[in-house]
Structure 1
Amino acid sequence: MKLLFIGDIFGRSGREMIEDHLYALKKQHQIDFVIANGENSAHGKGITQRVYEELIFNGVQAITMGNHTYAKKELLDFIDEADRLIVPYNQLKTLPGVGSRIFTWQNKRIRVTNLLGVAFMNGYNYNPFIAMDELLEECDEDYHIVDFHAETTSEKIALSYYLSGRVSAVLGTHTHVQTADEKIIDQKTAFISDVGMTGPKEGIIGCSKESILYKMTTGLNHRFEVDEGPAQLCGVVIEFDEETNLPIKIERIMI
């Protein structure tokens, strides 16, 4: 089996990259299942029903989220029917949504889990290490893909070693910059610190340079604007052995 995970889709240009390139990517790499992080897919923050349906129409089979999950209040109107959406598993229990879902592909069961980090985040998230211990007590799927939406590389690397051999992949998102540390840990768990961002490539992590630099040079709050320049698509392709279900290759993609 081959799985494609697409990094944080940011705004309209990120969605256009999915529309323009996903079909060819699936054909080129013989992809069986596609996961994408969509927490910034609606104008750089959150997701709407129209955007959710657009991503599915263009070939995304599972959509993970992150710290901006509920930025668009419209999500609350359709989240119960959004059966391809995976929200952070270790978020406050009072928040709606499903944090770990099982999908079926050719009699293989694929579990997709979304986690939030705690380092330099808002402080309201449940410890992801303990949360995974609790979740894994009930997991026996063929593949288990974890989107770890976290700020620091150290926390992501730590979780990857903690879950080595217990999940199929730990894939970092959130920082929007693709890292060059992809590997397979102990020949059991695929890992990368950050998959990268799918969206504006010449701004500052998706936003216009002017809006970010204004705040950084003046210290004044300023609305961050989505950059409208050229775009990129970042992701990883993971290949699994059909008999053992273990990962045998992880490859970075950047268009």
Structure 2
Amino acid sequence: MELNILAVGDVVSPAGVKYLRTMLRKLKQQYCVDFCVVNGENAAMVGLTPSHADEILDAGADVITLGNHTWNCRDIVPMMEDCPYLLRPANFPPQQPGRGWGIFETKAGPVAVVNLIGRCDMAFGPDNPFLLMEKLLPQLDTKLILVDFHAEATSEKLAMGYHLDGRVSAVWGTHTHVPTADCQILPQGTGYITDLGMTGPARSILGVLPEQSVAGFRGELTSRFKAAPGPCKLEGAVFTIDTATGRCVHAEGVRIHEN
């Protein structure tokens, strides 16, 4: 049996949430998706609110993953404790609310989803994600394991892919909002892409008004980032997993653009 997994890149802004609600079920039907993981890190631009989380789940996501903006919207904390379908990075300090991984039922049996965050160029000091995975893997009683690695450095993401090659079904990167052209199956059978991209304003710089982002790089004083207007896009990847072996047999990037 095969299981089709859809991973959707960081949802950026309420407009991105709205576009996800419009397109996700159609995309799931097109690719015969059995299980869908959406990174909701930027649904409120910086962070995720409970209402946005509800909308993303209602749109067709089975699991929401997060990243460095997990705690920017503090009203998400009670939901982090109560909702098993909402994950924050597993290598956050253990005393923080919520969970970093979960096991979820599918037509082919249990699937584990692990949310990790990188350490390169992150302002805070999360635990080492490579060492954490060594401790965590024996606890995941399934061959079907998916990893969202929310990280800045492409080298750190690719290193995680090879570190887990043959031991998990798929590893994908999030956080940079720019899709990479390296969707592939690694030598030992793990599906991999360095970054899924984003879901949100298409004519933007990572979802932000271009002129505002450019002004920041010019050294000018700018106000709080605003989402760019206009058409949206949805980016991600589909991984087909052989459920008998847990290996990926097909991987491809996905991109749709609003007219």
TM-score band (shorter)?
Answer: over 0.9
Task: Write the deviation string for residues 77-99 of structure 1: whole angstroms up to 9, x where unpaired.
Answer: 32211121010000122311100
Specify the alignment match of 1:217 in structure 2.
218
CA drift at 1:7: 0.4
Specify the alignment match of 1:46 in structure 2.
47
The equivalent position to 1:24 in structure 2, one of 16, 19, 26, is 26
CA drift at 1:40: 0.6
CA contact (8 A) 2:34 2:107 kept: no
The 5 Å alignment of 1:1-255 reads: 1-42=3-44, 44-220=45-221, 222-255=223-256
Distance in 2 (CA, whole Å) between partners of 1:219 and 1:66 is: 28
**Greater mean alpha carbon deviation, residues 150-159 or residues 79-88:** 79-88
Instruction: Name the count of aligned residue pairs.
Output: 254
Q: Note the residue ranges of structure 1 that are not aligned, 5 or more in a row.
A: none
CA drift at 1:22: 1.0
1:21 alignment partner, SS class: helix
**Greater mean alpha carbon deviation, residues 77-86 or residues 151-160:** 77-86
CA contact (8 A) 2:110 2:142 kept: yes
Task: Write the deviation string for residues 173-209 of structure 1: whole angstroms up to 9, x where unpaired.
Answer: 0000000011111241010000000001111101111
TM-score by length of 1: 0.96
CA drift at 1:106: 2.0
Moved over 6 A (4+): none
Q: Note the residue ranges of structure 2 that are not aligned, 5 or more in a row.
A: none
Identity of aligned residues (%): 39
Distance in 1 (CA, whole Å) between partners of 2:249 and 2:188 is: 7
CA drift at 1:142: 2.8
Distance in 2 (CA, whole Å) between partners of 1:157 and 1:109 is: 26
CA contact (8 A) 1:100 1:111 kept: yes
CA drift at 1:18: 1.2
Task: Write the deviation string for residues 60-84 of structure 1: whole angstroms up to 9, x where unpaired.
Answer: 1100000001110101232211121
* Alignment CA distance shift 1:6-1:203 (3 Å): same
CA contact (8 A) 1:215 1:222 kept: no
CA contact (8 A) 2:80 2:87 kept: no
CA contact (8 A) 1:211 1:223 kept: no
CA contact (8 A) 1:108 1:142 kept: no
After superposition, the CA RMSD in angstroms is: 1.3
1:80 alignment partner, SS class: helix
**Greater mean alpha carbon deviation, residues 95-104 or residues 217-226:** 217-226
CA drift at 1:242: 3.8
TM-score by length of 2: 0.94
Letter in 2 for 1:34: C
